[in-house]
Amino acid sequence: MERKEIIDKYERKPENILLILHEIQENNPRHYLAEKDLKEVAKHLSLPESFVKGIASFYSMFSLNPRGKFIIRVCESPPCHLMGSNTILESLAEILNIGVGETTEDGAFTLELSSCLGVCGVAPVMMINEEVYGNLTPEKIKEIIAEKRREI
């Protein structure tokens, strides 16, 4: 969906700002908010651009830089930590050759951390875009990444 189409769906109320920004970012294949997006949202809601930018910078769910097609979020909350989330993170960093907060050169993967994803029963856990993966092991990680690479 185009930016304008998304923005026009929402009433011109400031309280819609998070919903609009979220939907625009979701519709961007690189999962980020461009300068132009912030400008248009500010215009639609009659808010200063600096305010919209402030909101987009404040919330960690938003990115102002292009990210990978697949955003990997590894849970780092205590239950996952106890079940070895560090090993999972190390495996991912090694396979993808990037650190936390970085994106692979081909623009395919971004590696991020997350707090509890609400499925501690299957710790350690990660999400790739909207999909949850649990009971992770380094072997499973290899398979999952190989599968995602085939989808590119």
Report the interface residues with ligand FES, using CB under 6 A. 75, 77, 79-80, 116-117, 119-120, 123, 125
| Nearest distance in Å: CB 49, ligand FES | 36
Which tokens belong to 135?
């009971």
| Nearest distance in Å: CB 79, ligand FES | 4
Q: Which is nearer to ligand FES, 64 or 119 (CB)?
A: 119
In Å, what is the CA distance from 111 to each residue of 97, 101, 103, 147? Answer: 10, 6, 7, 17
In Å, what is the CA distance from 87 to each residue of 19, 75, 76, 114, 152? Answer: 35, 12, 11, 15, 26
Q: Which is nearer to ligand FES, 79 or 107 (CB)?
A: 79
Q: Which is nearer to ligand FES, 20 or 123 (CB)?
A: 123
| Nearest distance in Å: CB 120, ligand FES | 3
